Amino acid sequence: MYHPIFGTFLRRYKRFLVDILLDNGEMITAHCTNTGSLKSCLIENAPVVLSKANNISRKTKYTWEMIKVRGTWMGVNTQRANEIAFELLKQNKIKGFENLKFLKREVKFDSSRFDIYAESDREKIFIEVKNVTYREGDFALFPDAETKRGQKHIEQLLKAKEKGFRVALFFIIQRDDVKLFKAADEIDPIYAKLLLKAYRNGVEILPIMVKAYPNGWDFVKILEFKV
């Protein structure tokens, strides 16, 4: 786990850059891994958490990890979602995915690369992981911007399902102030239709809520997927 560095959010621009005022008074530009709009997250002067990059030659020395919105820490680093999903599987925290005998990240299938490949005694499993930050009322929603890449991932999961693999979509919700999960059909209706098709064709949809902290996270529960 990274050592948390605290600051204040000022602005996001060029999608991958955010200006932050560190608590020590230094003004810096940090890297944003999240390609979405971060709708409902970009609150000026909100507290944030950063991590320091291990690569000393990188132009941006810090990565934006979290922001505190209405008293709730929320994880915005999409790479952490993959780490969380992998760790939850290793810890046997996800019902129906316990006691896997093999786990590997970033495995190629057809023209895509899925986030996690797993094996049990009975089946081979592909899992795609998405990070969820968008909230409206009691709902966590995905995506927060049109995602051609996400659409392709669902199509590839359906192909894997046809070829006999067990397939699942893990939506890692790095905030604990929501009660239900659904597709953001007003933002990306094509993705929403594909997600419904996937659900009806046996792709397992798991909206996984975790409570985010500046120095870690805790598993909370699996939310209901509102079709």
End-of-domain residue from the set 20, 47, 75 = 75
**Each residue of 129-181: pLDDT tens digit?**
999 999 999 999 999 999 999 999 999 999 999 999 999 999 999 999 999 99
Alpha-carbon gap, residue 42 to 69, rounded angstroms: 9
Same domain membership, residue 85 and residue 68: no
Same domain membership, residue 195 and residue 92: yes
pLDDT classification of 16: cutoffs 50, 70, 90:
very high
pLDDT classification of 66: cutoffs 50, 70, 90:
very high
**How many C-beta atoms surround the C-beta of residue 58 within 10 A?**
11
| Full domain range(s) for residue 58 | 5-75
pLDDT classification of 53: cutoffs 50, 70, 90:
confident
Same domain membership, residue 47 and residue 36: yes
Residue 29 structure tokens: 């530009």
pTM above 0.85, yes or no: yes
Same domain membership, residue 193 and residue 163: yes
Instruction: Look at strands 204-213 and 166-173 and give their pairing.
Output: parallel
Alpha-carbon gap, residue 140 to 17, rounded angstroms: 24
CB 133 within 8 A of CB 145: no
End-of-domain residue from the set 75, 99, 133 = 75
CB 76 within 8 A of CB 34: yes
Same domain membership, residue 92 and residue 51: no
Same domain membership, residue 129 and residue 59: no
Total domains in the fold of the chain: 2
Looking at residue 140, which CATH number applies to its domain? 3.40.1350.60
Residue 21 structure tokens: 């005022």
Same domain membership, residue 146 and residue 104: yes
Same domain membership, residue 82 and residue 71: no
Which pLDDT score is estimated for 107? 95
Same domain membership, residue 195 and residue 169: yes
Looking at residue 24, which CATH number applies to its domain? 2.40.50.580
pLDDT classification of 33: cutoffs 50, 70, 90:
very high
Which pLDDT score is estimated for 54? 83
Mean pLDDT, the chain, rounded, equals 95
CA 113 from chain centre, in angstroms, equals: 16
Secondary structure letter of residue 104 according to DSSP: E
End-of-domain residue from the set 49, 75, 101 = 75
Same domain membership, residue 156 and residue 88: yes
Written as one letter, the residue type at 87 is: E
Question: Does residue 56 surpass a pLDDT of 80?
Answer: no
Cis peptide before 143 (omega within 30 of 0): yes
Same domain membership, residue 119 and residue 43: no
**Each residue of 188-221: pLDDT tens digit?**
999 999 999 999 999 999 999 999 999 899 999 9
Same domain membership, residue 126 and residue 196: yes
Residue 197 structure tokens: 């098709």
